[in-house]
Amino acid sequence: MFHDESDALIANPPMLGYGVAVFDSSGYGDYAFAVAGYGFPNRILAWDGQRLVDQYHPVIYSPDRNTLGIAAGDIDGDGNEELYCLNADTFGGYTRMGDQLFAVRDGDIGCDLFALPQNSEFINHFAGRSVCMIDPTGSGKYMAWVANYGGPMRLYKHILGDRLIDVAADLGVDQTTGGRALIAGPIISPPGHTDLFAATENGPNLLFLDVSTSTVGDVASDLGITDEGSHGRGTAILSTGTGAEFGIVATNWQDEHRFWVLDMLGTFLDVASPDLRRPSAARNVICADFDNCGNEEILINNMDQPNRLLKYIDGQWVRIDAGDASEPDGCGTGMACCDIDGDGRLEVLISHGESAMMPLTFLRPLGGYENNWLRIAPLTRFGAPARGAFVEITVSGRTQKRIIDGGSGYLCQNEPVAHFGLGTADAVQIVRIVWPGGATHIVMNPEINRIHRINHPEG
């Protein structure tokens, strides 16, 4: 299903890489891959019309840092997405290397906000794994939720004068865990609300419903998704196509994988098929419609084992040929998807590391050229990508639903776009967008085979 087109990278030396994030590098919808380097430079890879070009940014280069997780979000409400880099020189607990949060102003990457004197007391000095950007009230200013391994979770908020404060304790999301993966959006709560799910290692998973500005409690045990004793890794939100709008795909390191869906009694059931459930050395997972058939596929990135691609066939998830994406000898650590070249199909960038240095892998889907598509990119009131937004389309009487996840699981973060394959359908009747905070907008009969950037109704 995928073809290796890594030759499209201008420079692709072997490296130890971890997280991959997709962010709006210019503030005008010019998406780029940000790749975390572990003792190697962090990289920004942008499409120049024919190739992926390394945009050298001396501020974030940081080859003396060990960057693991990476994510983007408009922290200060200026319409530009900042880049958060998790750095660690230990496996868990306290680390000498502090995190970095790079301000982006007018499309240019500037200073590390944590390096400012007023923020020194709040620098994260625990071994973080993942970052998730959330805006539960719909203010347009995102907060960075950080999962640490052996240290308390952080929730950084930007206030006046480029000051950062940690409000995790105020909201009750400051647990100390073996933190691994984070996802956020209206997973269970109605569109416009924000739920937070954290996959952990050697401890219970966490789920916080309808986070706003008040203290919330963990309901993972009540809903049956603690999965204690497992080793959480890649986690993703998947549209179920059933009464429950979304489920949670959670992969575990060398343990059974899960697909949790709410039943009629309001608790989660694991409905993973045998092919999906089968254990592997999982690192990441992406749920997306790679062939634009109108249904999402599941791509699982493994370390030192073949990657897996699953498709929903005859009522269950079945493993299919992944083509070059299988990477049987790959040392996969991170991956993210984005239509980086604007052709309406989702490319995947995979980073490698930990067990061996390897070049990046750039994958394009094979086939799907005959299928139509639609891409919806909601914007905040300040014009930045609206991560956490809910998007629903109606095509020939059928609905498709997506959440633009603020995190995308372990170490990584996918593009801030709701991507829909349409198959052979040649028209979309309705698009409904619900922003974090509840603002709603309807688009009737949008032009297909293009991306629509949708302004916030109150922008």
Q: How does pLDDT run across 50-77, given as a tens digit for each residue?
A: 999 998 888 888 778 899 999 999 999 9
Tell me the backbone φ, ψ of residue 363, rounded to 5 degrees: -115, 140
Alpha carbon distances (Å) from 445 to 362, 401, 427, 435: 34, 17, 7, 20
- Please write the tens of the pLDDT for every residue from 394-420: 998 899 999 999 998 999 999 999 999
Rounded Cα distance, 284 and 177, in Å: 19
pLDDT of residue 296: 96
Q: What pLDDT does residue 218 have?
A: 94
At residue 286, the 3 state secondary structure works out as strand
User: Which sign, positive or negative, has the C-alpha torsion 354, 100, 236, 335?
Assistant: negative
Q: What is the pLDDT of residue 355?
A: 83
CA dihedral 297, 301, 307, 310 (to 10 degrees): -20
Residue 241 has pLDDT above 80, yes or no: no
71-127 pLDDT, tens per residue? 999 999 999 999 999 999 999 999 999 999 999 887 788 899 999 999 999 999 999
Instruction: Report, as an integer, the average pLDDT of 304-321.
Output: 95
Phi, psi of 118 (to 5 degrees): -70, -10
Residue whose structure tokens are 């890489």: 17
Rounded percentage of the chain residues whose pLDDT exceeds 70: 99
Residue 130 near residue 98 (C-beta atoms within 8 A): no
In the predicted structure, residue 306 carries a pLDDT above the cut 90: yes
In this predicted structure, the answer to whether residue 214 has a pLDDT above a threshold of 80 is no
Rounded Cα distance between 233 and 223, Å, is: 20
Terminal-residue alpha carbon distance, the chain: 40
Question: What's the one-letter identity of residue 393?
Answer: I
Of the candidates 180, 187, 185, the residue with the CA atom closest to the CA atom of residue 131: 180
Give the pLDDT confidence score for residue 174 in this predicted structure.
Answer: 94
Residue 243 has pLDDT above 60, yes or no: no
In this structure, how many other beta carbons lie within 10 angstroms of the beta carbon of residue 140?
Answer: 24
Amino acid letter at 457? P
pLDDT value of position 257: 98
The mean pLDDT of 149-165, rounded to a whole number, is 95
Q: What stretch of H or E contains 61? A: helix 58-61
